[in-house]
Structure 1
Amino acid sequence: MEWQENSGNWVLIPPRPQAIIHFLGGAFVATAPHVTYRSLLEVLANQGYAVITTPFINTLDHLEIAQNILRDFDSCLDRLYISGILKKKSLPIYGIGHSMGCKLHLLIGSSFSIERAGNILISFNNSTVRDAIPLAEQISSVVNVEFTPSPKETNSLIQKYYKIRRNLLIKFNNDDQDQTLRLNDLLRLRFPNMVTVKKLKGNHLTPLGQDLSWSVGKVYTPIDAIGQWFKQEIYRDLNQLKREILLWLNPFKNGVGSRD
């Protein structure tokens, strides 16, 4: 399998996929998600999920970004079916988002007519401009600047209109940007028995974990020990995330795990 560009998306399609994953990354790493989230996404593809990830450039108008993402995703999906790359019609579609990617999936699920088998929302972040963007505090003190929709408006949209019933929310124990518990409260008002929250070890950057090369010299030094420990900790947190995602996607599959 190799990553391919399609209608502005990057896709990774295994033989005979069982479902489709639509992945959206965080605000400042979303321009090349097939690179920044490669380890996570390739595990999903290796487990039989067709991965479509839509890059985006962050602006203040998050609803417009969500609309453009949905347009590009639908165009890509049509082309994959027409070309025969995806042969089985009507595969279930799951959304996975990280940080701002969660907000965009929530806006898509609240503002547009779509069908999804479920959403996985990792480290949900719904910050104001002042909190999200460096130097924005100085700008907003002069000009009234805020995201569209604002955090308050986003919460209202979710509470009133969000239509994706099955949701997995993932919160890391060392993440001061996370607003997952607030999101959990909103979603449980709509779907009381369909929301699962998992609290995992890690931080806001855990989903970005990549393969790290650490070459040990002829003499094993304390620096080598620190490097190996750091690598193991990153892998441990990321692998736990992979396992939880795969288990939720297919809880009846035996031997769930990543093929690292």
Structure 2
Amino acid sequence: MNAEFCFRPLSFSWVAIHPHPKGVVQFMGGAFFGTFPTLFYRYLLRQVFEAGYTVIALPFRFSFRHWALSVSLLKEQDELRREIALAARHLGYESDIYQDKTRYFWMGHSLGCKYIALLEFLSDDRWPTLLKTCTDARQIEQIEQAIVDLRPDAVSIKGQPSLLLAPDISDTESAIPIRFLAQLLDRFQLGVLPTRKQTQCLIAKSDLFNLTGLISFDHDTIAGSVANPRQKPYAENDVLWLITQLKQRAFPLLHQELSGKHLEPLGVKIGSFVVDFNPFDKFAERICDRFLENQVLQFLEELRQREQTPKSVATVQSLQSIPSTVAVQAGSSSQD
């Protein structure tokens, strides 16, 4: 049965159902572009689908309350597990995989990565205790209210690998470029929660983030980079901070830095080109010169293999391996 790349509206998301899926990739894009993921990220999502994955495109919603948005992704996953299985059976496709939570992946771009990171933190059984050391009682109450309707086993993405593309751990100053106004909102506790500093504290204290991959871009002035660390202060260079923090986990962080800017994951295929909607960049790129999608597929496969590796073996491997952080520019033979 041939795989037809077609997004269907299910629950609050768009889903491309593969007839013989080897996994399910849940994708959350960045601000604005992520609101219409099936358009702006179409080439990337199509390559993931054609590699054998069912793809869930989760539309981005803007809010300063990032805990509530993150928990809403858990609720959506719980609902989609049922709805996709029903739709797959109706189409005559394989459907048993959708009940196995370990077959699900998370993939984010830009701010979408922060929501995924918060879900990873909530998957740590110690999250209420750790949260008290990094935030305040008000945020704990917000989370407890948000998860009250979820089953206990649904408040976790443990065992589900995450792939972060140009991760941006945004706070109020990132959302509002007028610094005085951003600081005023924070002073009255009306800004982004958790803040960048609080989010970094949560990640640092968690024992998870072992099934994590990160792809960065050497000229990214928003998420930061390894190749040009002076473009941003270390505390605001989210890429460099995450690499430093996660390289000593049970599994060393999978990382590759590619040539490009922050909006590299965007694009649709037009002829033999990928058009990325960025007039301040190259705007269009030949498919044969594009490497991102091949790197994404390689990391998804490696993350799946890690998920199936016993933790004792992983610990030994982590002592023998240092993650790569070399900027790369290479060609790709991937076709739409």
- Calculate the TM-score normalised by the size of structure 1: 0.83
Where does the alignment leave 5 or more consecutive residues of structure 2 unmatched?
A: 123-154, 224-237, 273-281, 305-331
- 3-state SS of paired residue (1:30): helix
Whole-angstrom CA distance in 2 between matches of 1:171 and 1:141? 29
SS of 1:5's partner is strand
State the Cα distance separating 1:161 from its structure 2 match: 2.8
Cα distance change of structure 1 residues 103 and 119 upon mapping to structure 2, 3 Å threshold: same
In the TM superposition, what is the alpha-carbon distance from 1:109 to its structure 2 partner?
1.0
Supply the AA of the counterpart residue of 2:54: A
CA distance in 2, matches of 1:52, 1:41: 9
Which structure 2 residues correspond to residues 177-188 of structure 1 after superposition, within 5 A?
A: 177-178=222-223, 179-188=238-247
Q: After TM superposition, what 4+ stretches of structure 1 lie above 6 angstroms from structure 2?
A: none
Alpha carbon RMSD of aligned pairs, Å? 2.7
TM-score by length of 2: 0.65
Residue 247 of structure 2 aligns to a residue whose secondary structure is: helix
Tell me whether 1:149 sits opposite 2:194 in the alignment. Answer: yes
CA distance in 1, matches of 2:168, 2:118: 13
Give the Å deviation of 1:86.
4.9
SS in 2 for 1:181: helix
- Give the 5 Å matches for 1:156-171: 156-161=201-206, 163-171=208-216
TM-aligned CA distance change 1:10 to 1:257, over 3 Å: farther
Mapped to 1, the partners of 2:54 and 2:207 lie a distance apart of: 25
Match of 1:211? 269
User: Of the candidates 65, 71, 88, which is equivalent to residue 96 of structure 2?
Assistant: 88
State the 1:246 CA deviation.
0.9
Instruction: Give the Cα separation in 1 of the matches to 2:32 and 2:43.
Output: 18
Q: 1:141 to 1:185 in 2, by over 3 A?
A: closer
Among 289, 292, 298, the alignment partner of 1:247 is: 298
* Change over 3 Å in CA distance of 1:236–1:201 after alignment to 2: farther
Say if 2:171 and 2:193, in contact at 8 Å, map to a contact too: no
In structure 2, the residue corresponding to 1:23 is in which secondary structure? strand
Instruction: Check conservation: 2:113, 2:167, Cα contact below 8 A.
Output: yes
Q: Secondary structure at the match of 2:82?
A: helix
Counterpart Cα distance in 2 of 1:159 and 1:141? 25
* 8 Å Cα contact 1:95/1:116 also seen in 2: no
Q: Per the alignment, do residues 201 and 184 of structure 1 end up closer, same or farther by CA in structure 2, a change over 3 Å counting?
A: same
Q: Match of 1:220?
A: none
CA offsets, 1:82-106, max 9 Å, x none? 4435513326111110011111110
1:51-77 deviations in Å (ceiling 9; x for gaps): 012113111111111011221122112
Specify the alignment match of 2:149 in structure 1: none
What is the aligned-residue identity percentage?
28
Aligned length: 242
Q: Aligned AA for 1:185?
A: T
Q: CA, structure 1 residues 70+46, in 2 after alignment: closer, same or farther (shift >3 Å)?
A: same
Q: CA 1:211–1:150 in structure 2 vs 1: closer, same or farther (change >3 Å)?
A: same
Map Cα deviations across residues 116-151 of structure 1 (whole Å, 9 max, x no partner).
44111010111331133233x242354424311111
8 Å Cα contact 2:109/2:164 also seen in 1: yes
Q: CA deviation at 1:180?
A: 1.1
- 1:40 — aligned with what? 44
Pair 1:139 & 2:190 matched: no
Structure 1 gap segments, 5+ residues each: 215-229
**Contact persistence 2:109–2:167 (CA under 8 A):** yes
Of residues 61, 67, 70, the one that matches 1:57 is 61
Instruction: Tell whether the 8 Å contact from 2:287 to 2:334 is kept in structure 1 after alignment.
Output: no
Contact 1:46 1:259 in 2 (8 A): no
